[in-house]
Amino acid sequence: MQIPGPMQIYRLDALWDNYIFLLYDPESQTAAAVDPAEPEPVLDQVRSLGARLTAILNTHHHGDHVGANQALMQRYPDLVVYGGAGDRDRIPGQQVYLSEGDTVTFGGHTAQVFFVPGHTRAHIAYYFPPVAAEPWGELFCGDTLFAGGCGRLFEGTPAQMVDSLSKLRALPDQTRVWCAHEYTLNNLKFARTVDGDNLALIERLAEVETARRHHQATIPAVLGIEKQTNPFLRWDHPALQATAHSRDPVQTFAAIRAMKDRF
């Protein structure tokens, strides 16, 4: 049995602050796009690799995540479009309807599908565990979890989002978080207002400020660091509960999320 090699991941800039991720398997010379907002960055990268696009992995239906689906399907008519079961008729070209516990395979790597509503009612995430000697797992979480933050609750409830983030928080620390927006600096500035004595957060904010001054991306993030510094993964920590004036996890999360909405 052949052991798959490390999965190659390309981060592509799109729109104003979006990221598209392209997964590439050099052995088969195939690629899969995660949340393609625009077609051009994907097509350019696929051409430069001499690859063939075979799949689109959508996390949810928002236009800045599915905007390129139809154009990419026109260029590659045989590609398969994946998305959440609850997004039926909302994701252009969707052919596969995924639920919690389903799997998706690309390039010898198999992703576990998590149902993570909150930002939208049908949001899903894809987690590729490490295989062989790989040091990292890879999490593609759309707009559920951001570096230093989480998505707004457009179609879900605080209770749903806490449940969704709990699933992601339970993944190994050695997981790279490929979220779809460059929001990290603003997120961490807010985090300082609700968790100001957190030394790991203070150090991380300084690092991110330096990176952004040099126009460097902050994605992927590391889940182990998120657990230490992201207030939306820390609803059960005394500092956040004190800020929220509640020891209830959902009420704490809801209070912090409401503060971020006004930040």
User: 216-234 pLDDT, tens per residue?
Assistant: 999 999 999 999 999 999 9
**Is position 60 annotated as part of the catalytic site?**
yes
Is there a catalytic annotation at residue 237? no
215 classed as catalytic: no
The structure tokens listed for 106 are: 């690309």
Region for residue 108 given its phi and psi (left: phi exceeds 0; alpha: psi -120 to 50; beta: otherwise)? left
Q: Express as a percent the part of the chain with pLDDT over 90.
A: 94
**Distance in angstroms (rounded) separating the CA atoms of residues 236 and 217:** 29
pLDDT at 7 over 90: no
Please state the φ and ψ torsions of residue 200, each to the nearest 5 degrees: -65, -35
65 in Cβ contact with 142 (< 8 Å) = yes
pLDDT of 2:
41
Give the model's confidence band at 135: pLDDT under 50 very low, under 70 low, under 90 confident, else very high: confident
Catalytic residue among 35, 64, 102, 195: 64
* Confidence band, pLDDT 50/70/90 cuts, at residue 131: confident
Q: What is the pLDDT of residue 132?
A: 75
Catalytic residue among 35, 87, 102, 143: 143
User: Model confidence at 1, in pLDDT bands (50, 70, 90)?
Assistant: very low
> Is 62 one of the catalytic residues?
yes
Q: For residue 1, count CB atoms less than 10 angstroms from its CB and return exposed for 0-12, middle for 13-18, buried for 19 or more.
A: exposed
Residues 6+ apart with CB under 8 A from 161: 117, 118, 119, 144, 150, 151, 153, 253, 257
Looking at 61, 65, 109, 123, which residue is catalytic? 65
Mean pLDDT of 167-173: 98
Q: Looking at the predicted structure, is the pLDDT value of residue 253 above 80?
A: yes
| Angle at CA of residue 13, ends 9 and 15, nearest 5° | 140
How far, in whole angstroms, is CA 212 from its chain's centroid? 20
Active-site hit among 35, 119, 123, 195: 119
Residue (of 113, 66, 108) closest to 90 by Cα position: 66
Instruction: Quickly state the pLDDT bin for 5 (edges 50, 70, 90).
Output: low
The pLDDT of residue 175 is: 96
The arithmetic mean of pLDDT across residues 95-105, rounded, is: 97
**Comparing C-alpha atoms, which of 94, 4, 17 is closest to residue 55?**
94
Residue entry with tokens 């609750």? 153
In the residue annotation, 25 being an active-site residue is answered as no
What pLDDT score was predicted for residue 28? 92
Q: Is the pLDDT of residue 36 over 90?
A: yes
Instruction: Give mean pLDDT, residues 170-199.
Output: 96
Average pLDDT rounded to a whole number, residues 6-32:
93
Q: Are 23 and 32 in contact (CB under 8 A)?
A: yes
Task: Please pick, among 25, 60, 61, 102, the residue that the annotation labels catalytic.
Answer: 60
Does domain 8-262 fall under CATH 3.30.300.20? My reply is no
Check residue 134 and give its pLDDT. 80
- Count other Cβ atoms within 10 Å, centred on residue 15: 14
181 among known catalytic residues: yes
For residue 173, the surrounding DSSP H or E stretch is none
